[in-house]
Amino acid sequence: MSPLRSPAGGRDGGAGGPTGPAHREPPAVPRTGPRTWARDLAMGMRFAAGGGRAGWIRTALTAAGVALGVAVLLLGASVPSLMDAWHGREKARENLGQEHDPKPADDTLLHTSVDTTYRGAQVRGRLVRPDGARPPLPPGVRRLPGPGRMLVSPALKELLDSPAGALLRDRLDYEVAGVIGDAGLLGPAELTYFAQSATLREADAYRIDHFGRSWDPTPMRAPAVLLVIMTCVALMMPVMVFIGTSVRFGNERRERRLAALRLVGSDVPTTRRIASGETLFGSLLGLAGGAALFLGGRQLASVITLWGINVFPSDVTPGPLAAALIAVLVPAAAVLVTLFAQRGVTVEPLGIVRGRPAIRRRLWWRVALPAVGTLLLLPLAGERPWTDTAPNTLRLAAGSMLLLFGVTALLPWLVDAVVRRLRGGPVPWQLAIRRLQLSSGSATRAVGGITIAVAGAIAIHMLLTGMQAGYAQAYAESGKVPRIGLWGGADSWPRTQKALTALRATPGVTAARGTIDANIGRLTGPGNAPSHDTHATVAVGSCAELRTLARITSCRDGDVFVTDARDPDSPVRAGATIDLNPRVGTDDRATPRPWKIPEAARATALRAPGHGPGLFSYDLLLTPSVLDIARLKDPDVEFQVDFDRDTPDAVEHLRNTAAHINPTMNEFSAVDNPHDQQLGSVRDGLFTGAVVTLLLIGAGLIISTVEQLHERRRLLSTLDAHGTRRATLGWSVLWQTAVPVVLGLGLAVGCGLGLGSLLLTMIDTPVTVDWPVVAGMTAIGGGVILFVTALSLPPLWRMMRPDGLRTE
């Protein structure tokens, strides 16, 4: 029998003469059990591994794409455990006091927070004074530093040792006795210290008998949840698209090899399985590479601070379930994408038959995706205020994913629809448009990633900007006047007076005023209803200080003034008896401390009555000798310090002075807007992410463009022989890239703005469009076009060489 006889021929022969000696049994149809699958996949993997240089390049490209995707997925999967570790350490080291302090004992200490800000950076400080020999210790601290000594975090040590830390060294007036261990730090970049003070007053601190408490972090507010969900969606989707694109690298050559396999008798499902095997090999390599990339990349965690969160590399560990899912699903997805890519493609023994020469791009399901997404989101926008419930979160994630994914699905249809209507134009334009008309698939697939990345980035950015706009406005309003407020526990007027002198002597300070403030209340005697709600405020200060508050004409020490701030219900009037120890709750058993306001008290008008920054609401003004400060309940000292913006480090000098007056003094100011810094870091992250994504996609585009050029080498040489200008073909490559990218970007900007508006409406924030960001994103997209074209030109020139004309 002829070896050339086909199985079909064999069957025909069999029908004619079943007993013929030359008859051969028709080959049994192989059952496609798991073993067949395994065999074919293994064969495909062998092809991928043994495919020579070109084969390896293709495998490497697939692996690189998958590796990047896997690394990002692993990073995403690490976020929950990262936050757990972070919060866990936070919980273990804090104890800001209980409502009922323990009694002083051998194992208690006084503890207070002395946080400060140094040139915009937050420095966390804790000051303790042990009551006995066995004080509790926070994690990371093995022995309490001696009095006047402190333990510092490595980052703070570095800052203090550097010239840039000179001013801070002056503020943290303790001797460095050691370093806090990692267990006591949130992250390697955290600036923190733990000091013992011999002079810490009980009034300024809490007494505690242990560190750590069951303290749960405040749940993220709804806008933050929105932000996190959107980031995940916007980050993951391009990765998916990129994995999808990278498993298709070198598809055309692979198809030729598969055709050869068909020629030697493998059937269509087998070739598909073999093709999947090849992809599987690349994606398994990618999986390993991604894991390595992730392990290497997480070392960077120590230098990255995002949303004020900085962690140790070891915190960046994906959950075991998530890691296992990634390890299984990514290769599986790669195989599925390969099988999916081959639908409509029939590999015949003598070549490839594109089953559907022009795949009708159906509109309905492409429109259905974003439409369903919008429908999911719209009711959420109507619900005000938006609440972060599980169904809402799910709806939001699903809705925005559908919307973003819908955009990528819509893009091929859009490109098709637009390109189909284009005709004419100059030669490069015609070449590009015709090319896109014939097959726009590979280009739009890659551009789909750009679309998601840009749309997502714009939406997130709008959300961020909207959220931050409120803060920014408030800070801008408060920060108009260069002023810092300081407050802390007060003990006596002379010390306050000294502090004022010190503040005024500080370089850069233009003015300072300060008073001792306290709450007073109506005296509740028998028959009087508890009146904890009828509080009034008293300010104690020298005549000069009181004059800054009210229009006082004559004043001597011993004078008392009643202001016009009192409401009709106020107990404050000349000759009235008030309670200096008012109750703060109905169950407060404070003993009343009655005090009679002198009859000689004069009425005065506040300079700026009201509540708010720069406004005063004192009811009673006292000169220092009228009353012993100690009789007041929890007297606070409050300073308002004006400084000169042009004096360098005026704020830092001022803080140093304050720290020397009393390290536990608190500051309130609008000097550093922490939200600005957060927004800045997130914006940087977002831009970096978008640029990296776009570059990745650009790399994909370059590969597919060069691959396409390579396929057309002979044609390009022919065109060169005809005298075609290089510029003509260069422009056609540019247009060919530009048309889908421009359409994709247009779609992305539209979708991003729409989604952003929707999200802003959900958090009840006026919709504002950050045009510079839109422009920035668009510029990056344009940059990608140029980048792809520029990098495609050298291969284009090379392909145009007459070598391609050789027939060998």
Partner 1 sequence: MTPEGSLLSAEGLHKKYGATPALDGADFSIHPGEVVAVMGPSGSGKSTLLHCLAGIIRPDSGTVRYGPHLLTGLNDAQRSALRRTDFGFVFQFGQLVPELTCLENVALPLRLNGTKRKEAERQAREWLERLEVDTVGGQRPGEISGGQGQRVAVARALATRPRVIFADEPTGALDSLNGERVLTLLTDAARDTSAAVVLVTHESRVAAYSDREIVVRDGRVKDMLAGLI
Among 437, 524, 666, 677, binds partner 1 (CB under 8 A): 437
Minimum distance from residue 257 beta carbon to partner 1 (Å): 20
Q: Which residues contact 777 (CB under 8 A, 6 or more apart)?
A: 454, 457, 458, 690, 745, 748, 749, 752
Does 807 bind partner 1 (CB under 8 A)? Our answer is yes
Q: Measured from the CB of residue 430, what is the shortest distance to partner 1 in angstroms?
A: 7
The residue (of 302 and 430) whose beta carbon lies closer to partner 1 is: 430
Residue 393 or 437: the one with the smaller Cβ distance to partner 1 is 437
**Which of 424, 526, 585, 766 contacts partner 1 by CB under 8 A?**
424
Minimum CB separation of residue 714 from partner 1 in Å reads 4
544 in contact with partner 1 (CB under 8 A): no
> Under 8 Å CB-to-CB from 456, ≥6 apart: which residues?
230, 233, 234, 235, 237, 238, 404, 752
Answer yes or no whether residue 430 interacts with partner 1 by CB under 8 A: yes
Residue 434 near partner 1 by CB under 8 A: yes
H helix intervals, 527-625: 543-547
In the range 694-723, which residues lie near partner 1 by CB under 8 A?
A: 712, 714-715, 718-723
Q: State which of residues 393, 666, 728, 778 lies at the interface with partner 1 (CB under 8 A).
A: 728
In whole angstroms, how close is the CB of 330 to partner 1 at the nearest point?
35
Residue 438 interacting with partner 1 (CB under 8 A): yes
**Least Å distance between CB 438 and partner 1?**
4
Considering the complex, state which of residue 780 and residue 800 has its C-beta at the smaller distance from partner 1.
Answer: 800
The rounded distance, in Å, linking the Cα atoms of 240 and 66 is 9
Q: Could you say whether residue 798 binds partner 1 (CB under 8 A)?
A: no
- Of 533 and 803, which CB lies nearer to partner 1 in the complex structure? 803
Binding of residue 353 to partner 1 (CB under 8 A): no
Q: In the bound complex, what is the minimum distance in angstroms from residue 300's beta carbon to partner 1?
A: 45
Instruction: Report how far apart, in Å, the C-alpha atoms of 597 and of each of 605, 628, 648 are.
Output: 18, 14, 46
| Alpha carbon distance 316, 297 (integer Å) | 10
358 makes contact with partner 1 (CB under 8 A): no
* Region class of 120: left (phi > 0), else alpha (psi between -120 and 50), else beta: left
> CB–CB of 546/692 below 8 Å?
no
Q: Which amino acid appears at position 387 of this protein?
A: T
Q: Are strands 602-604 and 175-179 parallel, antiparallel or unpaired?
A: unpaired
- Spatial distance between the Cα atoms of 18 and 24, rounded to a whole number of angstroms: 9
Q: How far apart are CA 102 and CA 97, in angstroms?
A: 9
- If the CB atoms of residues 436 and 550 are measured against partner 1, the closer one turns out to be 436
Encoded tokens for 273:
């399985």
Q: Min. distance of Cβ 331 from partner 1 in angstroms?
A: 35
Contact segment (CB under 8 A) with partner 1 among 59-67, 220-228, 429-437, 523-531 equals: 429-437
For partner 1, which is the closer residue by CB, 35 or 356?
Answer: 356
734 binds partner 1 (CB under 8 A): no
Q: Is residue 435 a contact residue for partner 1 (CB under 8 A)?
A: yes
List the one residue from 427, 476, 481, 615 that touches partner 1 (CB under 8 A).
Answer: 427
Q: What is the 3-state secondary structure (H, E, C) of 483-495?
A: EEEEEEECCCHHH
Applying CB under 8 A, does 802 fall inside the site for partner 1?
yes
Q: How far apart are CA 614 and CA 630, in angstroms?
A: 27
* Binding of residue 421 to partner 1 (CB under 8 A): no
- Taking the complex as a whole, the smallest distance from the CB of residue 715 to partner 1 amounts, in Å, to 5
366 contacts 410 by C-beta, under 8 angstroms: yes
CA angle 467, 470, 473 (to 5 degrees): 140
Torsion, CA 772, CA 774, CA 777, CA 783, rounded to 10 = -80
Residue closer to partner 1 (CB basis): 435 or 522: 435
> Residue 1: how many CB atoms within 10 A of its CB?
11
Provide the residue count of the chain: 808
Q: How far is the CB of 352 from partner 1 (least distance, A)?
A: 12
Rounded Cα distance between 808 and 805, Å, is 9
Which of 477, 577, 725, 779 lies at the binding interface for partner 1 (CB under 8 A)? 725
Q: Under the criterion CB under 8 A, does residue 750 sit at the interface with partner 1?
A: no
Contact 446, 700 (CB under 8 A): yes
Contact between 806 and partner 1 per CB under 8 A: yes
Structure-token pair, residue 112 = 């207070």
Cis peptide before 135 (omega within 30 of 0): no
d(Cα 523, Cα 529) in Å, to the nearest integer? 10
Rounded CA gap, 131 and 673, in Å?
38
Q: How far is the CB of 351 from partner 1 (least distance, A)?
A: 12
Closest approach, Cβ 425 to partner 1, in A, equals: 8
Shortest spacing between CB 344 and partner 1, in angstroms: 16
Q: Which two tokens stand for residue 102?
A: 């323990």
Kindly tell me which of 265 and 344 has the beta carbon lying closer to partner 1. Answer: 344
Q: Please report how close the Cβ of residue 320 comes to partner 1 at its closest, in angstroms.
A: 51
Q: Which stretches of the chain bind partner 1, using CB under 8 A?
A: 424, 427, 430-431, 434-435, 437-438, 712, 714-715, 718-725, 728, 802, 805-808
